[in-house]
Structure 1
Amino acid sequence: MTIAPDRLDGARGQAAWTDTRLLYALEEVVENELNRHLKVAKEWMPHEYVPWSDGRNFDGVLDGEPWAPDQSKVTSIGRTALVVNLLTEDNLPSYHHEIASLFGRDGAWGTWVHRWTAEEGRHGIVMRDYLLTSRAVDPVELERFRMAHMSAGFESDNAHSMLHSVAYVAFQELATRISHRNTGRHSGDPVCDQMLARIATDENLHMVFYRNLLGAAFELAPDRTMCAVRDVVTGFRMPGHGMPGFERAAVQMALGGIYNLRIHHDEVLQPVLRYLKVLERGGLGPEGLAAQDELGAYLEGLDGQARRFDERQAAILARRAARG
């Protein structure tokens, strides 16, 4: 990806690249990536992925039928993951506020922020409609979790700078895509699988946008970008980490093959890092080289942790199978 020479301003000095200058220098890239995104993104309608004919009234003011677990077509692990995924999408107002504050609401940056928000909004709409219409989850518990999660708000771990946010979403969008895709595959319901596959396609396009933007940032400010990637990778947490019962749900999702250390290392971190050639990049100063070394050492340690998780997972699943 090439940055226009006039935007480079003839400097690679790391101290010179403030957030404001980077936002200006990268705007042309944002515009190009936005235009590319709009050409490849396909319009889709949330209502087409919801089995409306399965719907009926719940108990309450309309005196319908109370929810019970045996009404759900979705597996137990599928229900857990669907609730986590939807609650994550529910915090969209907080995510919009954060990226709009960092990226701005004007020009190509602002156009992208609003387009991204609109596309993410569809995900929450279709997931909630599916869950309630198909009676996949307890609607009372879901609403109470939503109120608690949104009332607590969301503040990113990576709000140090604009570069930290770009680096975080480059990985997080891919992580979300994989979580949705694996949830669909483990859901036990073909309708759910089809819906989440559609959502995952959007998330992949979002990842490509941010990944390419991160690559352009490496051309402009390689040391600052390397440090941001190091910080994000070594401190990465999914945006839903503050929701009620997240730790227990995360363990169940890890054992169930929805999202775990092995998936995180092999299918999220490595693809983005390899594509951008992060560990092979030259032209770094002392700070960037130190961050690159730290990143390499961290990934090696994470691979070891993932290997130990694989062994524990296999042992736990074997014990479960033995118990029938």
Structure 2
Amino acid sequence: MTSSISDDDLTLAIDKALPDIRAAYVEAGDAWQPHDYIPWDDGRNYAFLGGEDFVPADVKVDAVVSNGLILGLLTKDHLPSFHRLLAQHHLIESDWGKFVGHWTAEENRHGIALRDHVVVSRTCDVEQLEMWRLEAVTRGYRQYEGTREEIKIAEQIAMVIVHEALSADYFDRLADYADTVESTPAGLVTTLRKIANDDRVQQQYWTELLTVALDVNEGHVKDALLGQARVASPIGAETADGLDEARRIVTEAGISSPERDREILNGLLATWGLAL
């Protein structure tokens, strides 16, 4: 537990622990199927296949639920950026690569499930949604000059733990709200709960890796955790332009807010005697 220990030492310690942690992580997963929770009978073709394209009157979903879905989905669409940040210092064939790969597959399932709900329920204009997706993915999550040097293994682990804590709370609170609204599409509350539960399980096993790293270099790893908490983005913040109203609606409903995020992060950091 000395600051002279290098990133290579951290990587070696984590690589040694990874096989067991990865096996337990895969075993703990809930292999749910997104298609089981989509109300396919509520959907209909768009004009290209002889149906009707979206019109604003199609939206029957509560505004908080619809905007919460959009922001949550666009955040999950940042998956390529997350994968790039997590894979850049490691071999994809390594245990780290397999661990990150399994996490990536689970996160991708979340995006699939949320998008299917949005399209079937006509929660929003899907052409606009696609433009937002293209903008969000092109812009990327925390992609900037110097990222490679700044986000190494301790920061990578801390970044995911912080993000998953915020994500789990967001989708749980959105599910709580959606469960009180009659217009919520069938299966949506269950889907949101499944996503939140996945996020909590993911956070648990990334925390297992953090514990290994703490045993190697406690000071450095705690600094990384606090640093990642300080720069964490609220769910839906780093998405696309034109979504300020969606963010306002979700914030006013108490689904996500700076105050709530700070509460969640301080609760997380308290585990290690830290605070924002």
Q: TM-score range by the shorter chain?
A: 0.7 to 0.9
Structure 1 residues 139 and 263: alpha-carbon distance in aligned structure 2, compared to 1, 3 A threshold? same
Report the equivalent of 1:14: 3
- Alignment-derived partner of residue 66 in structure 2: 79
Q: Is the partner of 2:89 in helix, strand or coil?
A: helix
Task: Say whether residues 1:153 and 2:144 are aligned partners.
Answer: no
- Determine the structure 2 residue equivalent to 1:290: none
TM-score computed with the length of structure 2 as normaliser: 0.88
* Matched AA of 2:7: D
CA deviation profile, 1:240-295 (whole Å, cap 9, x unmatched) = 533223554333322111111332133x21332233x333xxxxxxxxxxxxxxxx
Instruction: Give the residue type in structure 2 aligned to 1:249.
Output: A
**CA spacing shift, 1:257–1:103, aligned 2, 3 Å:** farther
Distance in structure 1 (CA, Å) of the matches to 2:122 and 2:245 = 22
Alpha-carbon deviations, 1:154-175, whole Å to 9, x = none?
3358751221121121111111
Task: Please state how far the C-alpha of 1:107 moved relative to its aligned partner.
Answer: 2.6
Q: Distance in 1 between matches of 2:82 and 2:204?
A: 18
Is the 8 Å Cα contact of residues 23 and 103 (structure 1) preserved in structure 2? no
Structure 2: runs of 5 or more not aligned: none
Residue 284 of structure 1: aligned partner:
none
The structure, 1 or 2, with the larger RCO (C-alpha pairs under 8 Å, 6+ apart) is: 2
Paired AA for residue 209 in structure 1:
Y
Deviates more, 1:114-123 or 1:249-258: 249-258
Tell me the residue number matched to 2:273: 278
Structure 1 residue 239 displacement after superposition: 6.7
Counterparts of 1:229 and 1:91, CA distance in 2: 21
- Contact 2:45/2:52, CA 8 A, preserved across alignment: yes
C-alpha separation in 1, matches of 2:4 and 2:25: 32
Query: 1:204 Cα deviation (Å)?
Result: 0.8
The alpha-carbon distance between structure 1 residues 237 and 150, as it changes in their structure 2 partners (threshold 3 A), is same
Q: Deviations over 1:103-143 (max 9, x none)?
A: 43233211101111111111111111111112122211111
CA distance in 1, matches of 2:213, 2:273: 12
Q: Return 149-158 or 183-192, whichever deviates more.
A: 149-158
Measure the CA separation in 1 of the matches of 2:110 and 2:203.
15
Q: Note the 1:43-192 alignment, pairs <5 A.
A: 43-59=31-47, 61-155=48-142, 160=150, 161-187=152-178, 188=181, 189=184, 190-192=186-188
Distance of 1:263 and 1:14 partners within structure 2: 33
Distance in 1 (alpha carbons) for counterparts of 2:74 and 2:157: 22
For 2:219, the equivalent position in structure 1 comes to 223
**2:252 is the alignment partner of 1:252:** no
CA 1:261–1:91 in structure 2 vs 1: closer, same or farther (change >3 Å)?
Answer: closer
